[in-house]
Amino acid sequence: MPKVIVDGIEVELAAGERINGIQAAQRAGVEIPHYCWHAGLTVVASCRMCLVEAGTRNPDTGDVMMVPKLVPACQTPATPNTVFITNSEKVANARAMVEEDLLIDHPIDCPICDKAGECNLQDYHFKYGQDQRRADIRPFTSRKREMGDTVTLFVDRCVMCTRCVRFTREISGTSELFVINRGSHEEIDVFPGYPLENRMSGNVVDLCPVGALGDKDFLYKQRVWFMRKHDGVCTGCSTGCSISVEENQDTVYRLKPRENPHINQWWMCDEGRYGYHHVHSDRRLTDVQRRDGVNWTLIEWSQVVREIDERFRNVGRVAVVLSPHLTVEEAYLLGKYAREVDPQAQVVLGPVPVEGTDETFKNGFTIHAEKAPNRRGVEEVVTHFMGQVATLDNLLISLASGEPTAVWVSGGYKSNWIDTAAADQIASAAACLVVHDTFDSPLTEKATYRLPDGTFAEREGSYVNFSDRLQSVSWAIRPPAGVRVAGSVYWELLGEVGLYKSRRVLDEVAERIVFFAAAAEPVGPLGVDLKTPVLEATPTA
Amino acid sequence: MQANDPNIKWIEEPKLGLTGKMYLPLFVQGLTTTTKHLLGPKVTVSYPDVRPTIGNPLIYRGVHRLNKDEQGRVKCVACFLCATACPAHCIDIVGVESPWPDREKYPESFTIDELRCIFCGMCEEACPVDAIELTSLFDLTGRSREEMIFDKEKLLSVYDQTKDTEPMKSNALGGTV
């Protein structure tokens, strides 16, 4: 087995594996500080922060030959028998010098910089920098420039790592950003009239190792150390990017991509990134209401669940519409309840919103036109109950000709999703119509019961993305007063006691539905591929 | 910590000497102290008719104030460091982009719940621009709880009220800004 030695620790390489010094050191548990290198971008070796001593070991004699000068670890391939030394005095001096150079005309405005608390320059300075500042320049403000609608550049905070420039060239393929001037006058800029305008522009803010690129949506809103990160899944489209939901006291302040090599790598699109504002919209439904003639009566959650259950059992015939915004567990629970009340109950997939066409970027990242996170998952649940993917259209046809039916419509859509004609059709045919949704729609106007539902940040459960990868998330914030998230309502409808536990439901789903079999094992932060258990042809001996 | 911890230094109670055993010398000693205070200068004042004097107003920890810069603008840059340092979580700030070209960020609202505050002075220590300071005003009263939640205007008015008697500590104590 080929080996690399980092500070005397041997790291094993897989056959044919190509990694650099920084990655080899990571495996040995040694941190090599770096600014310009990023695993998703090309190597430029311009920041010089990752300078280390390198050499080779003769495998036969064990003699080590070192390179006389320091080399950048990001650009040095960790080939078999390479030796890296990162803890020598020479390396420590080089790091301190780089830090000092970067800080010569850096405005030390950490108190007002949004990056403070998660800034590499800050962290590395504490770890590797000098405690004394020899330069007598003490600027406290930074020049500011608009890069586009989403990003502001704080010119003087920049350390010229050019990660953002490489991102627009290699990942988004739009090449808006570039470096102007030379030497110490270097600055990031855009051409006049060509602002940073692409559907992935927010990623440059995450890439920025310092506070130079600021997200306008998040700027000045919250200090990063107040926020808690929760692993989540973006519900903007069927790509299902892994994200972190960052909140403080039940207010979501930003969404950030979470590294997941199977789905989104390090990126996410702007639509998903800024697509959380509906969570705190004041138009959200928060009252539980029952229609009595033309008036709405406010009722309590404790009362309404029992009341609806009674009415559904009296009507006898039941149909449920499962929204593609529901998690797998929620969809399954509602389907299960419908079938419990009426063994012939109709379980159908709600409308799947589609906007435009799929857009694929230079590196293969795709924004899907299908604006729902869980069509695949809900489809499989519907297939389990109905034997085929029944949709709202199927339901409308059978409602028009069938006997009186109680209908439960689940929502969770970010905006209006049903037209007045379809809403009329459902409402006129339904004997009792329950709409559990986040926002008002033509359907909520006509409902018998209008229940407020949670948004993606409040849901707990699993989503299946376009390529059949299942990711489980737990809730990030508590729902606003009056709102109950779908899962917990269905939990109560089915007569389960205690708090809603999505994992217990997923165990049941994995046991009952073959498609979800792989989810029987604990689902890690990167999710689980549901396609895997397809049996491979066994080679005959 | 266990009782047999090596870091604990055990001390024997000193034995009573002859004077201690005789009781009378200690009695005289105690009575001397009492008499001294009886005849000495009075420290008790009949507040609120008479206001007590504060020893050193620069290190007294009373009501907060928000300092103003030379142009009369609030000095605070809305960095939230006082709110971070505050052990009682009584500071609430909303930071926005400042309307002035030479400043980046400023507090749109800055409220301190004076009832929740424990007057520890951590906010003053945390402030990188010496904007928040504790004054020597100690008689803090109000008719309702809401009245005791001081907003930015009130905190700035405390500065106007005290700036002549108590100079900014940045000047008086050699501050940073």
A387/A469 same-domain check: yes
Mean pLDDT of all residues in A247-270: 95
- With cut-offs at 50, 70 and 90, classify the pLDDT of residue A286: very high
Same domain, A276 and A328: no
Q: How confident is the model at residue B173 (pLDDT cuts 50, 70, 90)?
A: low
Confidence category of residue B170, pLDDT binned at 50, 70, 90: low
User: For B70-84, what is the mean pLDDT?
Assistant: 93
Say what the pLDDT of residue A533 is.
53
Q: Which residue has the higher pLDDT, A105 or A515?
A: A515
Helix-, strand-, coil-residue percentages of chain A, each rounded to 5 = 30, 20, 50
Taking the C-alpha atoms of residue A55 and residue A305, their distance in angstroms, rounded to an integer, is 71
Based on the domain organization, do A241 and A217 belong to the same domain?
yes
Does the pLDDT value for residue B175 go beyond 80? no
- The answer to whether position A541 is within a domain reads no
Task: Give yes or no for residue A537 having a pLDDT over 60.
Answer: no
First to last CA, chain B: 44
Domain end, chosen from A36, A66, A87, is at A87
What is the total count of domains within chain A?
3
Residue to substitute from A108, A112, A249, interface B, most B β-carbons within 10 A: A112
> What's the whole-number mean pLDDT along residues B88-113?
93
User: Across chain A, what does the average pLDDT equal?
Assistant: 92
pLDDT-derived band at A131 (thresholds 50, 70, 90) equals confident
Residue A273 in domain: yes
Q: Is residue A10 included in any domain, yes or no?
A: yes
Q: Both A125 and A254 in a single domain?
A: yes
Residue B105 pairs with which residues in a beta bridge?
B97
- Which tokens in the block code for residue A411? 């929502």
Residues A385 and A486 both lie in one domain: yes
> Which pLDDT score is estimated for B30?
93
Residue A535 within any structural domain of the chain: no
Place of tokens 């028009």: A400
Tokens of B5: 């911890």
In this structure, are A140 and A110 located in the same domain? Answer: yes
Centroid of chain to Cα A527: 12
Whole-structure pTM value = 0.87
Residues A143 and A168 reside in one and the same domain: yes
CB pairs A-B closer than 8 Å: 29
The string of pLDDT tens digits covering residues A295-347 is 999 999 989 999 999 999 998 889 999 999 999 999 999 999 999 999 999 99
What is the complex's ipTM, to 2 decimals?
0.81
Is A92 part of a structural domain of the chain?
A: no
**Which residue matches tokens 């030497």?**
A183
Q: What is the β-pairing status of strands B91-97 and B105-113?
A: antiparallel
Q: Is the CB of residue B105 less than 8 Å from the CB of residue B95? A: yes
A361 shares a domain with A343: yes
Chain A nearest-CA distance from B128, in A, is 7
Out of A250, A280, A310, a domain closes at: A280
How many angstroms separate the CA atoms of A115 and A96, rounded?
A: 21
**Per-residue pLDDT tens digits for A426-484:** 888 888 999 999 999 999 989 999 999 999 999 999 999 999 999 999 999 999 999 99
Residues of B in contact with A223 (CB under 8 A): 79-80, 84
In degrees, to the nearest 5, what angle opens at C-alpha A368 toward C-alphas A514 and A208? 110
- Assess contact for A86 and A30: CB atoms under 8 A: yes
In a domain, A538, yes or no: no
| CATH label of the domain that carries residue A409 | 3.40.50.740
At residue A199, the pLDDT reads: 93
Q: Within a 10 A sphere around the Cβ of A351, how many other Cβ atoms? A: 17
Contact B77 A223 (CB under 8 A): no
pLDDT of the residue at A287 = 94
HEC-encoded secondary structure of A152-212: EEEHHHCCCCCHHHHHHHHCCCCCCEEEECCHHHCEEEECCCCCCCCCCCCHHHHHCCCCC
Alpha carbons A399 and A405: distance in angstroms, whole number: 7
Residues A32, A121, single domain; the answer is no
Q: What residue of B is the nearest CA neighbor of A114? A: B79
For the stretch A153-195, pLDDT in tens is 999 999 999 999 999 999 999 999 999 999 889 999 999 999 9
Using a CB–CB cutoff of 8 Å, tell me whether A216 touches chain B: no
Whose CA is closest to A527, among A374, A392, A382? A374
CATH number of residue A76's parent domain: 3.10.20.740
Q: Say yes or no: A326 and A464 in one domain.
A: yes
Task: Report CA Rg, chain A.
Answer: 28
Note whether A219 contacts B97, CB cutoff 8 Å: yes
Statement: residue A147 has pLDDT above 60: yes
- Delineate the domains of chain B, giving CATH numbers in brackets: 64-172 (3.30.70.3270)
DSSP state of A350: P
Higher pLDDT, residue A353 or A537: A353
Question: Residue A539 pLDDT > 80, yes or no?
Answer: no
Residue with tokens 């103003």: B68
Q: Report CA-CA distances (Å) from A71 to A68, A124, A125.
A: 9, 19, 21
Please report whether residue A539 resides in a domain.
Answer: no
Judged against a pLDDT cut of 80, whether residue A139 lies above it is answered with no
How many whole angstroms separate alpha carbon A331 and alpha carbon A323?
8
Please check whether residues A265 and A320 belong to one and the same domain: no
Domain match, A335 and A416 both: yes
Closest among A540, A532, A319 to A431, alpha carbons compared: A319
CA distance A339 to A341: 5
Rounded to whole angstroms, how far apart are CA atoms A100 and A134? Answer: 8
Which residue among A262, A280, A298 closes a domain? A280
Burial readout A137-173 (b: 16 or more C-beta within 10 A, e: otherwise): eeebebeeeebbebbbbbebbbbbbbbbbbbbbebbe
Which residues form the domain of A204?
99-280
Residues B109 and B103: their CA atoms lie apart, in Å, by: 16
Phi, psi of A80, deg, nearest 5: -55, 140
Domain assignment present for A540:
no
CA–CA dist A237, A371 (Å, integer): 4
CATH of the domain at A252: 3.30.70.20
Bigger pLDDT: B51 vs B122: B122
Burial of A541 (0-12, 13-18, 19+ CB in 10 A): exposed
Q: Does A138 touch chain B (CB under 8 A)?
A: no
Using the structure block, give the residue that is written with the tokens 């050191």. Answer: A25
The residue assigned the tokens 């350390």 is A159
Mean pLDDT of B20-28: 87
Query: Distance (Å, rounded) from C-alpha A395 to C-alpha A398?
Result: 5
Nearest to A220 among B97, B102, B129 (CB): B97
